[in-house]
Structure 1
Amino acid sequence: MGKDAALKEADDEEDAKHEVLEATTSVQSSDLNSRGMATTKVSSSVASKSREELEKEEGNAHYKRGDYVAAIKSYTRCLGYSPQNAVVLSNRAMAYLKNREFANAEDDCTLALKADPTHIKSYSRRGTARNSLGKHRLALLDFHRAATLDPKSRQIQAQLQSTRELVRTAIKRSPKRTEFSIEVVGEPALDKGPTPEEKKENVKSLQQVQSSSDTKQKPAIQESVSDPLPTSKAATVESTAVKKKQSSGILPKLPKMVPVTSYEFNRVWKSLALRGDADQKSALLNLRAEYLRMMNPSTLHTVFKTGMESDVLCEIFHVLREVVLGATEVEKEDNQLALAFSSELTKIPRFNMTIMLLSASEKKDMAWVINHLEADGNIANLKKLYDLS
């Protein structure tokens, strides 16, 4: 190879190296540019997040770590940018619940529901807060509303049922008012005590009574010793069974007067509580039906001025189902009676709260009665009032 040829080859190699270097530089430059663009995108993404969103995310992170105080502070800063953010208010309420600040949790949920009346979590969390504060009736309203918005939630259904039990327990523990009157006739005369002469007469009469009682007790003791004991347990069992049979056959008598107060109604109603064998239960059911027929349904709201217990409401519908509407061919008057009771019971004070206390299984008799009445007319409003729709 000549010198010129060698130089030319070297020049070609240099040119090739230069081209490779330029290509590498170009690749590196483009790579750096792409990285720079990516970095710019990330930084711009971070920059695009508002301070409100950052505080919310920080609050969520604190909550997940169990630092509820820090979470409350972050949510509070977030609410400084958007005071009516229902989600953040509800999240702060949950942090308050975890920190056992139930009053603050209730307030936050109330604010959240003002901003968004359909926020299910706020109803559920406020119900939890109110139960912790002893406000079980208000909590029941919250869980009932949450269950209406989300009927498939098992957690809400469980909370609803447990709150029903809390309300029932509170009702049983609350003192019941008893209606009575006091008539002051006059002050009794002061007892000055017996005189000495009266004391002597009392002592003599006491001695006479003791001597006469001693003479009477002796033959009685002898007679009791001479009485033979039962020879077998069968005789005792038989006599007990006879007594039970005799007592079970005795049924209470209905009063002649129509009840004008809930106390009067409940006193008679409880005396007719179902007990005994099938025949006696049937007889008591018929007595309860007769007792209901004595009443004018339009007076129910005046008789039960302070409301009706949930178990009494269920028992009334059980009587309507089994007796009033239980015949194969129901008379028109019985249908009208059942419809009148079903309608007028809804006018009793705190009826809505009483219905909320009942589970679906406890409302079976109500559903049956109202569905039966549906054949005679439009009762869509009744279904709604009894929460059966």
Structure 2
Amino acid sequence: MARVPTKHGRDQALDWELSLKDKDKKMRPQASDKVSSSGKTRVTGEDRKRGSGPYDYARSYDAINSISSSFSSDDSLPDAASEKELGNEYFKQKKFKEAIDCYSRSIALSPTAVAFANRAMAYLKIKSYQEAENDCTEALNLDDRYIKAYSRRATARKELGKLKECLEDAEFAMRLEPHNQEIKKQYSEAKSLYEKNILQKASVALENTVQKFQKVGKSDAKVNGQGTHPVSVQEIQEGRTSDAKVNGHPIQPVSIATQSTEIAAAQDRSKQRNHVTRKQELQTSVQEIASRAASRAKIEAAKNITPPKSAYQFEVSWRGISGDPALQASLLKAVPPSELPQIFKNALTVPILVDIVKCVATFFGEEMDLAVSFLENLTKVSRFDVLMMCLTSTYRADLAKLWDEVFCNEAAPVEYVEILDKLRSKYCLK
């Protein structure tokens, strides 16, 4: 409890305050004596000896106050937001290099997705497309749903000739804002360029293949597998037809007109058969080439799988190998299950979620500990409960079937039965 001051203590405090006021009154006349008629303070010799006096004190106070204000003033210190705004002003004036410098200082002070995306736009204006792509990637690492970063990176990648990646960025941007007309236009252009490029490559490859088989056909031209010997009319007239053969059979000495007609007809039939055979061989060869190319592409894709760092990267990789569940399983195995909440944040969609569960059920049956880890960490992704509420009847039926046939069947390890049963309820499959 606070101590209540006594009357004696109050009297002492009052006396002390009065004595201070008296001393102050006595000192004022002395200070006024040192002020000259011109209003300036006059310093006495005694003041100089002591190194004190009103003048010295005022000068010291001003210096201290100036230094203090120089450190405490917010205007004199660089600020990330003000640097960004200054960069925006330079950008409006089309001073793009100055804008880049301002954005760079803003990023150095406080890196944000907006600052990176703004600097990327300035880089696009001066045609530094690689730097623009890099800045957009940094922006998306900070905010993987920032639509301007996707759009600007699509522009940079188009100029760099990365048409597939350009289309992926434009497609994801349109998925985020499906009613944005500018994004729709960019997506249509990116898709048109990509498809045109694919057609050109396919046309060149097919043309080269046809030319190759045409050369082979000319060098190995045969009639029913045997070389043909052109028989002239003069040979037939001179009776030198004993060795003349068509399809391996000697030509009988008949009239010249009949023999010529038969030879011409045989040669026509031979040409037709050769044409059909070459066409079939060409089709078979093209199919084999396409099959081998697809196999090589899958092998290379499996080698180049890298763990995604964001929902966007995961979805692009996942859809890129959607035709090969084995490659999708490889992609999943490249992702530590505990990192799923950080990767997806609040960007996980129902179709991707169901696809992941299906892949886990198909390929992770022999690794139940890994399968359970994936199922558990998916429930920790932000907005998981909302996703479960949005499940369609088809998706819900698919998940229930997987739980019944794979996760909770008789072959499931006993130690995981209880965990999987709890997970079933979290996936709203009761």
TM-score (ref. length: structure 2): 0.34
TM-score relative to the length of structure 1: 0.38
Query: Whose RCO is larger (CA < 8 A, sep 6+)?
Result: 1
